[in-house]
Amino acid sequence: MVANETAQASALEPKTKLTGKVVKTTIGGAIVDIGQELPGVIHISQLSKDHITRVEDAVQIGQEVEVWVRRVKKDRVELTMVEPLELEWREMKPEMVVKGKVVRMESYGAFVEIGAERPGLIHVSEVAHGYVKDPSEMLKVGEEVEVMILEVNRRKKQIRLSMKAVQPAPEEFMSSKPKRGRGKRSKNAAAMMAELDEGPKEPEHTAMEMAWQAALERADARKKRQKKIAKETVAQDQEEILARTLEQRLPTGS
């Protein structure tokens, strides 16, 4: 029986939603009965989206809670009460095609909710093949769209998207539906379409600005690493306390 339940715990996938009961609280988190042989453990940082200093500010012993699996270890199932994102920053890659919903319109583009921490931006030049003056000509709030991820900047919390990258190019339309007409006029139309496809030109200084920004980011990396080390040290201390408490207080399985 124990072996079967342990196997079930090992089969739990990250982001799996479960319901459990808080059976113990410690300075570093809470222990939750999720109906498995392995106990469920919630670190204090995963009890709430907001920062808390006391576990009891978020949960009480005997409370029923909704949790999500973070990872499964040999001696426990690590859980979170913070609903995970459909797309984590580490999961998003350039050229990945996803679906989303338009949540905001601006003159320079449209913001699309794709299940990430922040909505992604479809710049007006990425809405469609050819020139688009205003994204509202092609899109509206609430509309579901298919987009391709062009770039992900976790530091700036920015996601660049494209609609035209998942649409057939104008040449494909022309080859699938050939038009009969005068050769000269057809050639001119194709040339115009190619010019339109380029969209508005970006200022030449954009590349220089991007290089300068990259230099600033590298200069700032050392400070961020120092802060990260300090935070990780505190989190590690809390996790060690929780692990020791778990080891001391939980009854040994038969």
Please name the amino acid found at residue 145. Answer: V
* Superfamily of domain 2-83 in the CATH hierarchy: Nucleic acid-binding proteins (2.40.50.140)
pLDDT surpasses 90 at 213: no
- 238 pLDDT band (50/70/90 cuts)? confident
CA distances from 5 to 21, 35, 36, 61 (A): 18, 9, 6, 24
pLDDT surpasses 50 at 2: no
Instruction: State the average pLDDT over residues 1-25.
Output: 73
pLDDT at 249: 61
pLDDT at 127: 95
pLDDT at 239: 75
Dist CA 159 CA 170 (whole Å): 26
Tracing tokens 């196997």 back to the chain, one arrives at 7
Strand pairing category for 120-123 and 158-162: parallel
pLDDT surpasses 50 at 193: no
pLDDT at 104: 95
Q: In which residue ranges of the chain is CATH 2.40.50.140 found?
A: 2-83, 89-167
pLDDT in tens, 114-153: 999 999 999 999 999 989 999 999 999 999 999 999 999 9
Query: Which residues are registered as beta bridge partners of 102?
Result: 112
Options 2.40.50.140, 2.60.40.10, 3.40.50.920, 2.40.50.100; CATH of 89-167? 2.40.50.140
Q: Of the ranges 27-41, 84-98, 206-220, which one carries the lowest mean pLDDT score?
A: 206-220
- 229 pLDDT band (50/70/90 cuts)? confident
pLDDT in tens, 58-94: 999 999 999 999 999 999 999 999 989 889 899 999 9
pLDDT at 174: 52
pLDDT in tens, 168-190: 887 654 555 544 444 443 344 44
- 201 pLDDT band (50/70/90 cuts)? very low
203 vs 110: which has the higher pLDDT: 110
pLDDT surpasses 90 at 204: no
Mean pLDDT of the chain: 80
State both tokens at 162. Answer: 């494209």
pLDDT at 210: 63
Spatial neighbors of 254 by CB under 8 A, at least 6 apart, are 2
Instruction: State the average pLDDT over residues 184-199.
Output: 43
